């Protein structure tokens, strides 16, 4: 089984009026068929421009509702995962498994009660910030890192109590540590890379990687060139460098995949992995690099399944 912790497909599908079968999407129902069993975390991404009033929540619901329209048209191909039982291979029944997620906590529009409403819509993983600061805390591109607000602290505690996976990708450094301080469950970084290889504000330093490992979480390596290298081009070998670094630092048990398909600008895409149709390139490269099947299985699915079973 392959599990991808992050893509922006359902937001793009809504905004560009595309069906989930469309090959205009990096992740689509046609190309994924040859890789089943496959689980895709589909992010409800809320751009900063929707901050204010109920705009964030309304935007989130509109994206989710549009997904459900597509789901009704493709029920024979999709299983929505809402609990640990749904994650078992035998329960996927040769369908695509979907985990609905939220990218950017402005999706609750400052109302903690909206967490329950999103949970009832099927959301099972939620981030806190995007790159910018919001009412919950500071994002990766903050100019003044004050960490989580009082509302943000209540937010992460509510996520833990509601059995929603907490995603710290896009958090500032202090927001990251405030999240750890105010929760007890494993946390994930759904689509982040290693700062010691590529010094980007969206990446994690060694201590953050160690903290996620100590909490028994996982880090989904992102297929975005500026997160992988400062060079003009990137390919699968750059992904493996980040995987290898984390494996050597804390062990193989804390690595996952977080492609960010349909969320990466054209100029930041990889030379070889352009969408789910090319995911085999990464699997093959891991074997070429010397990883054994047991380790590849951990990276591609088992590590995240371990985390999900503790929370969902």
Continuous H helices in the chain: 9-15, 29-32, 55-73, 89-92, 113-120, 150-161, 173-181, 206-214, 225-228, 236-250, 279-289, 293-297, 303-311
d(CA 235, CA 36): 24
pLDDT tops 90 at residue 112: yes
- Domains, in order of start, for the chain: 2-311 (3.20.20.140)
pLDDT tops 90 at residue 93: no
Give the mean pLDDT of 108-125.
98
* The dihedral sign for the CA sequence 204, 208, 214, 216: negative
What pTM was computed for the model?
A: 0.97
pLDDT of residue 91: 87
pLDDT of residue 232: 96
pLDDT of residue 111: 98
d(CA 278, CA 149): 41
Q: Which residues pair with 139 in a beta bridge?
A: 171
Average pLDDT, the chain: 97
pLDDT of residue 249: 98
Give the mean pLDDT of 234-243.
98
* The dihedral sign for the CA sequence 226, 50, 179, 296: negative
Give the mean pLDDT of 152-170.
98
pLDDT tops 90 at residue 288: yes
d(CA 10, CA 44): 7
Give the mean pLDDT of 168-192.
98
Identify the band that residue 181 occupies on the pLDDT scale cut at 50, 70 and 90.
very high
Structural contact between residues 258 and 5, judged by C-beta atoms closer than 8 angstroms = yes
């Amino acid at each position: 089984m392959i599990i991808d912790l992050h893509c922006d497909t359902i937001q793009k599908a809504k905004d560009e009026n595309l069906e989930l079968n469309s090959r205009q999407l990096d992740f689509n129902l046609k190309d994924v068929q040859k890789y089943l069993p496959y689980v895709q975390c589909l992010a409800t991404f809320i751009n900063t421009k929707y901050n204010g009033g109920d705009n964030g929540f309304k935007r989130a619901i509109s994206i989710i509702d549009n997904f459900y329209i597509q789901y009704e048209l493709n029920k024979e191909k999709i299983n929505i995962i809402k609990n640990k039982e749904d994650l078992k291979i035998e329960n996927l029944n040769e369908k695509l498994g979907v985990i609905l997620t939220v990218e950017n906590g402005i999706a609750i529009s400052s109302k903690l009660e909206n967490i329950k409403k999103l949970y009832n819509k099927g959301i099972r993983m939620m981030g806190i910030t995007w790159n910018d600061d919001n009412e919950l805390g500071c994002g990766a591109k903050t100019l003044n890192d004050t960490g989580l607000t009082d509302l943000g602290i209540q937010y992460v505690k509510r996520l833990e109590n509601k059995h929603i996976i907490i995603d710290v990708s896009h958090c500032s450094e202090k927001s990251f540590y405030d999240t750890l301080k105010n929760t007890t469950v494993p946390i994930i970084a759904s689509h982040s890379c290693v700062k010691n290889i590529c010094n980007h504000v969206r990446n994690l330093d060694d201590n953050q990687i160690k903290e996620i490992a100590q909490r028994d979480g996982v880090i989904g390596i992102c297929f975005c060139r500026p997160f992988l290298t400062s060079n003009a081009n990137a390919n699968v070998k750059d992904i493996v460098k980040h995987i290898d670094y984390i494996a050597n630092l804390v062990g193989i048990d804390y690595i996952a995949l977080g492609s960010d398909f349909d969320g990466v600008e054209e100029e930041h895409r990889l030379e070889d992995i352009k969408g789910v149709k090319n995911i085999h390139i990464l699997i093959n490269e891991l074997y070429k690099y010397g990883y054994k099947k047991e380790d590849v299985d951990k990276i591609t699915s088992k590590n995240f399944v371990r985390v999900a079973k503790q929370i969902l």
